[in-house]
Structure 1
Amino acid sequence: MLDGVMLLWFLLTALSLLFVAVDIRTTPESTVLKWGFILLTAYTGPFGAFLYVLGCREPLPGLHERYVATRWRQVLGSTMHCVAGDGVGILAGAVVAGVFHFPPTLDIALEYILGFGFGWAIFQALFMRDMAGGSYARALSSTFFPELLSMNCLMAGMVPIMTWAMKNTAMAHEPTGPAFWFVMSMALLVGFITAYPMNWWLVSRHMKHGMMTIRFSNKPTNEDTMHASASEHSHDAHTAPARRAEKQTQEPGSKRTLAGMTILSFIVFGVGLGIAVLLTRF
């Protein structure tokens, strides 16, 4: 029965990925977030496509700005960006651990290090450095704690599902088999859910960005001037949160709040690890 479920899942994932990859080209979203939705759909199949349609796809021409302005869609974009970037490193770590038959503890540690490293240094700081004024060093500094908090909550959801499913599913440790990729997809899907509340807090504090709207025009008309002006305002609107977040984290009260949320994120991660230990006994 599981083989049939996996076959259906991979078929739906292929169709969903094809739809998102083709359709998102006309969506006035940033290139990084477009690739983020493609990666998320590759991880989570029809759920990723559903989130793209519900949270980012422009319902009618000219409405994208208003459509994505709602808080939950902004948080969706933030969480998607986290899972898409971290997921690349996490999957790379899982593949290496599977090939070399690492024990579970080393497997989780490698996935965490690679996931955090790729998500922070590449998907957050490098690809979004324009939001920090073009400075990669400043981008690394401003995105470290948001990435850390989000990563901890992502792994808190992933680890229990991953460890339990791999123990109870035949060939789930082998990256060459479909069971491995099915288990990792389910784990990333649950991780997305557990990371969402933390991203809500981060977006509400202007420490992470959400959806964007970027429009391009090929005709050099007065309308282009309006589009260019709108793009400048859009850029200012999205660089402002990074500047506000940097200023806030320098204030004593904000530092205490950030320290508290960092501790909370590690507690959540610890709870996830504890649940994983309990589940491996069954």
Structure 2
Amino acid sequence: MTMESAVPAWLTPVAWTFLTLSVLSAAFIAADIYLGRRRHTSVANELVWIASGLYLGPFAIAFYLSRGRTSTSSAPAGESTGKPADTAVALLPGGGASAVAHLVAVPFVVAVGWTIAGLAMWPMIILIAVLVVIMVAVYERVASSEPRPGHAHRLSVGAAIGAAVITVVAFDIGMVGWMLLLHFNNAMPAVTESTFWFLMQLGVLVGLLTGYPAVKWLLSRNQSVVPA
């Protein structure tokens, strides 16, 4: 017998609305950077801000305008001062990587029919984690090559991977915990439903909360974590 889903019907229009706003937000930030000629010091930083729209929606625009927007002369965005706002900015690479990894891993796992213990959720979690570690490590290497106050050298491959792994482990406490909560409460929609993607966006936010202490610690170290 199939159990009735615990996902309320009203969540579907909410999901479609926020998903639409998320795409438009990412498009707005991309247009402001490339059409508005507000380029950053690296493409990696630009992609992080654009990706923030995929899970923060319109809130990403407000955050971008206050913390990520550059002048038309390509001057760097606000410098890191060690304040909570800087840690929030430093969380964006992980959040963006997770959002993009979901877009890649979920359809792939479904397409190939990959399951573990009869569930597609486990391979999704594994593949997403691997992709996020790779993307965050690459971001750290690329972004750290740019001149930064108090950071005189580029992160080594080992330091970049180490920072990425620590970030992802802390992030997954929230993200995986959220997915398990949905699964065991029969509230995990099919991947073809808008509610699935909306709930994954919420999961990214939960992951940012659990990842905050780790990123704050890494940011306090001279050689780890590069804010967007």
TM-score, normalised on structure 1? 0.60
Alignment of 1:147 with 2:160, yes or no, is no
Note if 1:182 corresponds to 2:198. Answer: yes
* Structure 2 residue aligned with 1:67: 78
Aligned-residue Cα RMSD (Å) equals 3.2
Whole-Å separation in 1 of the counterparts to 2:208 and 2:98 = 11
Q: Which amino acid letter does the alignment assign opposite residue 68 of structure 1? A: E
- Residue 3 of structure 1 corresponds to 12
Distance 1:95 1:155, change over 3 A: farther
1:225-253 C-alpha deviation (Å, 9 max, x unpaired): xxxxxxxxxxxxxxxxxxxxxxxxxxxxx
Residue 18, structure 1, aligned to residue 27, structure 2: yes
Change in CA separation of 1:162 and 1:54 when aligned onto 2, cut-off 3 Å: farther
Q: Unaligned regions of 5+ residues in structure 1, if any?
A: 212-282
Does the 8 A contact of 2:140 with 2:225 survive in 1? Answer: no
Q: 1:38 to 1:180 in 2, by over 3 A?
A: same
CA separation in 1, counterparts of 2:56 and 2:77? 27
User: 1:204 offset after TM fit, Å?
Assistant: 0.7
1:280 corresponding residue in structure 2: none
Do the aligned residues in 2 keep the contact of 1:40 with 1:48 (CA within 8 Å)? yes
Q: In structure 2, what is the Cα distance between the partners aligned to 1:54 and 1:111?
A: 34
Matches within 5 A, 1:248-267: none
CA distance in 1 between partners of 2:143 and 2:173 (Å): 30
Q: Does 1:84 align with 2:96?
A: yes
- 2:173/2:207 contact within 8 Å kept: yes
Structure number with greater CO (CA < 8 Å, separation at least 6) is 2
Q: Does the CA contact (< 8 Å) of 1:125 and 1:139 recur in 2?
A: no
Shift of 1:203: 0.9
Q: Which residue of 1 aligns with 2:38?
A: 27
* Match in the other structure for 2:215: 199
1:53 has 2:53 as partner? no
| 2:144 and 2:226 in contact (8 A); partners too | no
Sequence identity percentage: 21
Structure 1 residue 151 displacement after superposition: 0.2
Q: Secondary structure at the match of 2:49?
A: helix
The match for 2:138 among 125, 134, 144 is: 125
Q: 1:187 & 1:145 partners in 2: Cα distance?
A: 23
Letter in 2 for 1:115: I
Aligned length: 204
Match of 2:150 in 1: none
Superposed displacement of residue 85, structure 1: 2.1
Question: 2:137 touches 2:160 (CA, 8 Å); kept in 1?
Answer: yes
Check whether the contact 2:44–2:139 (CA below 8 A) recurs between aligned residues. no
* Structure with greater helix share of residues: 1
Larger radius of gyration: 1
- Counterpart of 2:179, as a letter, is M
Q: Deviations over 1:180-232 (max 9, x none)?
A: 21111111122122212211110111211113xxxxxxxxxxxxxxxxxxxxx
The 2-side partners of 1:81 and 1:203 are apart by 13
